[in-house]
Every structure is written in C-alpha cells, then in structure tokens.
Chain A
Amino acid sequence: MAGTGHAHLRGDALLSVRDLVVEFPVGRTGLKVNAVSGISFDAQKGETLGVVGESGCGKSTTGRAIMQIPRPKSGEVTFDGQDLMQADTETIRRLRTNIQMIFQDPISSLNPRRSVRDIVLEPLNIWKVGTKEERLARVNKVLEDVGIDPAVAADRRPYQFSGGQCQRISIARALVLEPKMIICDEPVSALDVSVQAQVLNLLEDLKRDYSLTLMFIAHDLAVVKNISDRVAVMYLGKMCEIAPSDDLYRAPAHHYTNVLLSSIPVADPTVTVATQRVQGEPPSPVLPPAGCRFNPRCPAATDRCRTEEPEIREVAPNHFVACHHPIHGGEAPVSVRSTGS
C-alpha cells in the first residue's frame, strides 16, 4: 500500500499530483492524522478519474488538497502546466475558475436564502463575465443543460427542490464558468438510486458537451465503475491500485480491491459471491501500521509486508498496483527502488 513511486504517471496530463502529503494536528497532543501520505496520480484531458476507498482513506482530503483547501503539507500539484503548490493566493483564486467542486450534500452546499438564479449567477458576477444580459442568458442556458427549467425554477430557493434537483443546481453553479475540470466529492451518495442514475447520466452528458475532465470521488464501487475511465483505489492515505476501470473490476490485483469488490451486496440472489471478508476495520490514520498499511487486515500479508512499504508498479498494461504479493502480475522484485517515471 505504498503510494511511493511514480511508474503510473503520464507526461501529458491536465492534472498531475506527485507525492501529495496532507496531515492534520490532533489537538495539542503533538500527534497528527496522516490523512494523505504521499500519493501520486494524474488525469488526462477528457478523462474521468474515479477515486474509491472507505471512509477515512483520504479520498475527499485529496480532492480538497488539489483545490488547495487547505494547503497540503508537501508534494506537487500541477494543473494545466501550473504548479498550484507554489502559486500565490490570487493565482489560485483565478485557477479555481478552471477547477470546480461539487459536494455530497447538495442542500447544505446551496445558500438557503438566495434564489437559484442568484446562486448560479454569482460566479459570473465575481469574474465580471460579459454584460448583465449575457450573464443571465448564460445562467438560463446552464440551468437548461442540467435539466432545470429556468422559467419555473430560477426564482425559487433551494428548499423548494428535492435533493436530486439541488445537486443539478450545484452542478450548474460549477459549470457556469466553463471550467476545465470538476472534482465531484460523493455527488450521488445522498440520493436515491433512481435519482442517482439521473445524475450519473447527466454528468456523462455534461462531460461530453462541456469537454470536461472529471475526478469522481465515491465509496460506491459500482457507481465509480459506471462513470470512470480509470479508477484509483485508496486505503488509509495511500494509493493501492490504479487501472482502467474495466480492467480493475475484471482482474483486481490488490487484495484490498478484491476485498472491496467482494463485499458489495449484489442485487441478484442467485449470485453467491466468493466472499472474501476482512476482519476488523481500518486502523487509525494517527498511528498507521508500518510497511504496507493494509497488512493487518490483508489475507496474503507476510513479514515483508509488515516492514517494507510496497512501491507502485505496472503489473499489466496501464494497470498499476502497490503490493508485494499481488493477485496477478507476480511478486514484487525484492528491494526494488524505482527511480521514478
């Protein structure tokens, strides 16, 4: 479960993250939460990168760290050729017009006292885009694109809408500045399945129409598979596996990915899943285990896993895994030290 190594990074990415570290202090104890401990990944233009993992694995922290909220402790975040870690506040503010975020709880992420039109209009006002008429026309267009009728809805307030509609409004607000990338943090987790399907289909359409790059953070593996081109699996602040989504689900290489996949309840009583269960729950990120962070729960852990942190390496074309004893792809060479990609 190392995040060390950059074998999986590509040169031509829109977003590139290297050795990202985010830590939070625990009160005044001097201890720290190792939320993200040196992960690297990238997203190419037009790609949807899915990030999955259980609560506390650092997936949301990663999304926020890209936006520099808060500033990560160390690492490199390059977006569209610009290093965000070195950039000053004003540059980052400008850059955020190009990377937008949508969140899990659509109702609380919208100001309850403002009309839908004002909510979606605000980014345009801040950046003084076009004339007032042009702005209003843009708002109407974006609302229509997300499936909200501006004539009916624009003067209403968020509480008058259902969760699914509020999520559409959040998406409209994110889209109105025509960003290059949207980071979606659990955008459908609070929604019913029927509404979830609507929002997932909508995101697919918008990605095409607005030529977006998406980072899609979620805990639901089936949802992530549906929308992603490439999926990264995180565990306790580290990257386990990253692969094209069909490959990852067809042939997981990391034992943690396998456990995650076999834990999903399948909506088919005739399927008897080969149940690969794990004992216990993820340990605390305050004192993460040495070596591979998954080793205390891993069915294949050896002494090597308890001491040496595995490095990420390619086990199949475009399929990268950080494991000494992966399910396929052969044992990791002993004491390998990759020099980076």
Chain B
Amino acid sequence: MSTLQTAVRRETGTLLEIEDLATHFATPGGVVRAVDGVTFSLDHGQRLGIVGESGCGKTILSRSIMGLLPRRNVIRKGSVLFEGTELTTMSLKDRQKIWGAEMAMIFQDPMTSLNPVMKIGKQLAEPLRIHLGSTRENAQEIVLKLLQDVGIPEPEKRLEQYAHELSGGMRQRIMIAMALACGPSVLFADEPTTALDVTVQAQILDLIEDQCREREMALVLVTHDLGVVAGHTDQIIVMYAGKIVEIAPTATLFSKMKMPYTEALFQSIPKLADPSHTRLTTIGGRPPNLVAPPDGCSFSPRCPYATDTCTKVEPELQQAEPGHLFACHYPVGSDRWNEVQVSLGRRSGGH
C-alpha cells in the first residue's frame, strides 16, 4: 500500500491525449462555446500551464478533461485518452475510480473545497480508504507522512482540527496533501495560489514544484498569471475564447511569442523592472461573447494587426518550430506586424 504511495513513477511517453475537445453549455441565451475544439497532449511528469483571461475556458478545459461537469445542458465532443483509455465515454463509476487515484485536482479557494464539519485527519484519510482500501491505522500513518511532505507544522495536532482553524496557506497545503494522497499521475491545479498572499503563493508554488519532481507527477497549472506559469511549467497553452491560440515550451513562448494576443497579454502586465509611471500597453475592447463568437479569428476585434482576412478566415494552428504552434495570420515578426509596429511608433522598423 505505502509502496504505491511512495512509488516513484518511471513511466515516460504520453499520459494524456486530448483531441478536438469541446464543451458547450446550453443556456437560455444560447449555446456558450466555452471550450471549442482543443487538441494537445501531456507527457508523464510534464508540467503544463494553461493561461488566459477570465472566461477564456481554461477552467472548463481542465474540468472537461477530468470529466467534472454537470450532465444536464452540457454538450461534449472530442476525446480524452488517459494512458490510452477513453475517458469521455466511461461510466461515472469508472471515472470515480480515476478521480483522486490517478488524476487529482486542487482549486482556488481551499476553504470551500474542504468539508467544514469533518476533521482534517478524517478528510485526508478518505481517499486512501476509498481508493487504496487502507485500514484506519495504515491511513493515519500515511496521512502524517503527507502532512510532513507538504510542510505542515505539528501534523499530529492538525489531524484533530477543522478547516476553519487553519490559515489560507495551510488549507491549500491540506488540499495538496489530499490530492497527493493516492499518488496520482497528474495534478490539476486551478488557480491554486490566486487567493493567497504573495509570500505564501511563493511557498505553495515551490511545494507543488517539489512534489511534482519527487513523485514524477505531471501538472496542469491553470492560471491567469503569466508570472506563475513562467517559473513553474515546461510548456504553456494560451487560451482565448475557448480555443488554443498558442502552445509552446515555456522558454520559447516568452522569448519567441508569435500570437499577438500572447504579446498583448504579456505587455499589459506591470513589470517590476520598469520605472514607476511607465505607460502600460492595453488590449482594447473585451473578450468576445462565446454565444456568438466573431467570424474569423476571435481575437481580431481587439487585435491591432487584424485585416479583412482575420475577420473572415479563422486561422488554423500552425507550426513555428517543433512543439510551438500558434493560430494567427500575421504573427509577431511578420511583415504586417512590423508595418503596424512602425505605424504605432513602437518600433522604428525591423524586429
């Protein structure tokens, strides 16, 4: 039992294969195309970041992969292969066996994700007893080890406490311990540090990184913060209006971003290195209505480089270099991009 717990996963190759995944919600106002045809794969032990603004579909994408969606009024398409097994057609019962054991998730708000009337020790032991059939004593032992792993001081005392007695950072550590309990092969972290202070955020991100490395666990880190993904992922997906607009290895994305949306998102962040009162570059307008997304490229109404082509023809994902895909007719560095940069006075010509 504890062999499974501490076993280091040595598998390599593809863990998750997502193909043309779509999740639409039928609402009184029309069909909301929250996730609209997403294809990517995740290798064992790989750390993937999904970034985008609110409403871009990043949370729904991670929930769609896990199958954590209501059944009513949801239209699902596409395929999710987990170690070769199709998840989308699996029964709820079978999926429940995978949740927690193979795929675990932590959320933004640890308070509402923990059971307020169940002691921490009991909550932590629950997945162990359900998925691994641990006995009470055995589970307790593992729980203590887990609490130590996630850096909780005085773990014995915590077993008898309730969620409300702990601070936000401590609760998030408990959530992580619970997610790690059965040794999942992939951890979905949906804005895990957004509700936390910056010093605690740094601690939690370090913890997640250490645990991923130690357990050779893959990570899907969903966040709006480009700073968070920059330091803690191997690969990044940028989403806009339910679609992947750019996907690249982390270093490549930041050094050679192709998609104007990625560029705009990056430029609108205030940077510590800039002197104070530096004028920020903004993205005009607002994200499109996902009930009736614009024709062509969904970013075109806000894009400074957009032409008639962009408003008519939807750009396909194309390859810049192996592993780096983007969906744009006039990517960063193209002639059109240079022309507009010059006319905006951002550049005197050339890249």
Asked if B226 lies at the interface with its beta carbon under 8 angstroms from chain A, I say: yes
Please measure, in the bound complex, the distance between the C-alpha atom of A228 and the C-alpha atom of B281, giving whole angstroms. 18
Is B269 part of the contact surface with A, judged by Cβ < 8 Å?
yes
Please choose the segment from B9-17, B123-131, B196-204 that sits at the chain A interface, where 4 or more of its residues have CB less than 8 A away. Answer: B196-204
CA distance A227 to B279 in the complex (A): 9
B277: chain A residues within 8 A (beta carbon): 204, 226-227, 229
Q: Does B265 contact A (CB under 8 A)?
A: yes
Name the one of B198, B231, B264, B276 contacting A194, with C-beta atoms under 8 angstroms. B264
- Rounded to whole angstroms, the CA-CA distance of A149 and B122 in the bound complex is 56
Partner-contacting stretch, out of A21-29, A33-41, A95-103, A195-203: A195-203
Interface residues of B toward A: which range? 35 or more
Judge whether B230 and A264 touch: CB under 8 Å.
no
Most chain B CB within 10 A, of A197, A228, A270, A280, is at A197
Q: How far is the CB of B28 from chain A (nearest CB, A)?
A: 15
B167 nearest CB neighbor, chain A only? A281
The smallest C-beta distance from A10 to any residue of chain B, in angstroms, reads 19
**Closest-CB distance, A146 to chain B (whole angstroms):** 14
Q: Which of A225, A264, A266, A280 contacts B198 (CB 8 A)?
A: A264
- Contact partner of A229 (CB less than 8 A), chosen from B228, B232, B276, B281, is B276
| Chain B residue nearest to A165 in the complex (CB) | B286
- The docked-state distance in angstroms from the alpha carbon of A249 to that of B279 is 18
State the CA gap A84–B225 with chains docked (Å).
40
Identify which of A55, A192, A226 contacts B270 (C-beta below 8 A): A226
Interface residues on A, range: 35 or more
Distance of A112 from chain B, by nearest CB (Å):
19
Closest to A278 in B: B199
**Chain A residues, Cβ within 8 Å of B99:** none
Residue of A with least CB distance to B206: A277
B268 interface residue per 8 A CB criterion: yes
Q: Which residues of B contact A271 (CB under 8 A)?
A: 230
A227-B276, A245-B276, A269-B231 are contacts. A201–B282 as well, Cβ < 8 Å?
A: yes
CB atoms of A277 and B202 under 8 A apart: yes
- Which 4 pairs show the lowest CB-CB distances between chains A and B? A265-B227, A194-B283, A197-B280, A54-B197
B residues lining the A interface (CB < 8 Å): 53-54, 153, 167-170, 197-203, 205-206, 224-228, 230-232, 250-251, 254-255, 264-266, 268-272, 274-283, 286
